[in-house]
């Protein structure tokens, strides 16, 4: 039976080419700064995004949490959408790691505007926590892969600059956003103080994320990473997979987006489905007539594995281990739902 794992784009396995790159990596002790493959990955990612420096970390949770620590003081407040990964899915780390409170906004599919943010910046007053940071997510995971364009980001960046706030991007799927909007990675560096990029999502590396920022911030980020236990040694074997992913797996993301659109069309035509959110990238969110868990069981019986995000809502995520014949299988199963 054909099986298709649509639970997440984190389920990918390294390709043969990636494994070979990992096997051949030149490594050293990265806590001493001696791992040339990690140094190369950090420099490469920073250059791509027009940033000064980078730091390689085991996860996107760690790069986000380090950024928040770098850009805030205890008692500060950050602003994010209520769906934000930094708030919902990082175990309460904002409060625990940084002693910072969170002001949550209601964006459209997680997308915020400067007009939404401005009234939520606290005035200088002892009653109020000091607002010091805005966090955007692109693409928005819980928004079903919705994208910001750079034109939507610019007014937010201007507001942050005027009001002395830092701006961090949770760019776990930033390359999916770039594939959809046509914006250039290099232009992002002008607008953000920090950018977190996951290598282990659609890019297909087994492990790792990079945080990009200016040199001073990254210097401090190395202290914070050590405190969090994220100082790794000969991790160049893993970083090599990240370099390989940046070289070989960025262009192909548009295939995942095309696959998502094909499946979304089939879902929209199914009487078992009441609503399919507009598909911009590699994530499909759809609502089902029956309970999501019942639909998931039917899908699993046909080899298709996915997750529910609500009682009547299911998420499909496309990635590089889903090939055209598997897409066809999903379409035919969806038609029979």
Ligand X SMILES: *Cc1c(COP(=O)(O)O)cnc(C)c1O
Question: Which residues in this chain contact ligand X in the complex, by CB under 6 A?
Answer: 59-61, 64, 85, 137, 141, 170, 172, 198, 200-201, 209
**Nearest CA to 134 among 104, 106, 174?**
104
Smallest gap from Cβ 177 to ligand X, in A, equals 11
Smallest gap from Cβ 337 to ligand X, in A, equals 27
Residue nearest to ligand X (CB): 60
Smallest gap from Cβ 216 to ligand X, in A, equals 24
Nearer to ligand X, 93 or 121 (CB): 93
Sign of CA dihedral 227, 61, 81, 118: positive
Nearer to ligand X, 90 or 334 (CB): 90
Nearer to ligand X, 85 or 315 (CB): 85
Smallest gap from Cβ 78 to ligand X, in A, equals 15
Per-residue HEC secondary structure of the chain comes to CCCEECCCCCCCCCCHHHHHHHHCCCCCCHHHCCCHHHHHHHHHHHHHCCCCEEEEECCHHHHHHHHHHHHCCCCEEEEEECCCHHHHCCCCHHHHHHCCEEEEECCECCECCHHHHHHHCCCCCCCCCEEEEEEEECCECCCCCECCCHHHHHHHHHHHHHHCCEEEEEECCHHHHHHHHCCCHHHHHHCCCEEEEECCCCCCCCCCEEEEECHHHHHHHHHHHHHCCCCCCCCHHHHHHHHHHHHHCCCCHHHHHHHHHHHHHHHHCCCCEEEECCCCCCEEEEEECCCHHHHHHHHHHCCEECEEEECCEEEEECCCCCCHHHHHHHHHHHHCC
Longest distance between any two alpha carbons in the chain, whole Å: 64
Nearer to ligand X, 318 or 334 (CB): 318
Smallest gap from Cβ 335 to ligand X, in A, equals 30
Smallest gap from Cβ 305 to ligand X, in A, equals 18
Smallest gap from Cβ 199 to ligand X, in A, equals 9
Nearer to ligand X, 172 or 333 (CB): 172
Are residues 294 and 315 in contact, defined by beta-carbon separation less than 8 angstroms? no
Smallest gap from Cβ 173 to ligand X, in A, equals 6
Are residues 227 and 98 in contact, defined by beta-carbon separation less than 8 angstroms? no
Nearer to ligand X, 85 or 166 (CB): 85
Nearer to ligand X, 72 or 176 (CB): 176
Nearer to ligand X, 7 or 298 (CB): 7
Are residues 232 and 34 in contact, defined by beta-carbon separation less than 8 angstroms? no
Smallest gap from Cβ 242 to ligand X, in A, equals 12
Nearer to ligand X, 60 or 334 (CB): 60
């Amino acid at each position: 039976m054909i099986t298709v794992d649509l639970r997440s784009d984190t389920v990918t396995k390294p390709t043969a080419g990636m494994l070979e790159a990992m096997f051949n990596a030149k490594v050293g002790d990265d806590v001493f700064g001696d791992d040339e493959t990690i140094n190369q990955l950090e420099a490469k990612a920073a250059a791509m995004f027009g940033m000064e420096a980078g730091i390689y970390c085991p996860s996107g949770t760690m790069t986000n949490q380090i950024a928040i620590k770098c850009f805030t003081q205890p008692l500060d407040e950050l602003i994010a959408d209520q769906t934000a990964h930094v708030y919902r899915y990082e175990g309460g780390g904002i409060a625990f790691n940084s002693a910072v409170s969170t002001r949550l906004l209601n964006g459209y599919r997680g997308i915020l505007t400067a007009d939404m943010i401005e009234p939520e910046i606290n005035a200088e007053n002892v009653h109020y926590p000091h607002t010091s940071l805005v966090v955007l997510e692109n693409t928005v995971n819980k928004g079903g892969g919705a994208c910001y364009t750079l034109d939507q980001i610019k007014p937010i960046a201007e507001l942050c600059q005027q009001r002395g706030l830092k701006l961090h991007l949770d760019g776990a799927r930033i390359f999916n956003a770039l594939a959809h909007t046509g914006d250039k990675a290099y232009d992002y560096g002008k607008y953000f103080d920090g950018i977190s990029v996951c290598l282990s999502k659609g890019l297909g590396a087994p492990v790792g994320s990079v945080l990009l920022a200016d040199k001073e911030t990254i210097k401090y980020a190395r202290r914070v990473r050590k405190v969090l236990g994220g100082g790794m040694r000969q991790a160049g074997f893993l970083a090599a997979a990240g370099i390989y992913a940046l070289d070989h797996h960025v262009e192909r993301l548009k295939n995942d987006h095309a696959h998502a659109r094909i499946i979304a069309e089939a879902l929209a035509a199914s009487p078992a489905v009441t609503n399919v959110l507009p598909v911009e990238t590699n994530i499909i969110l759809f609502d089902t007539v029956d309970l999501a868990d019942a639909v998931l069981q039917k899908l699993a019986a046909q080899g298709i594995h996915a997750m529910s995000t609500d009682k009547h809502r299911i998420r499909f995520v496309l990635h590089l281990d889903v090939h055209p014949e598997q897409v066809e299988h999903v379409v035919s199963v969806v038609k029979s739902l």
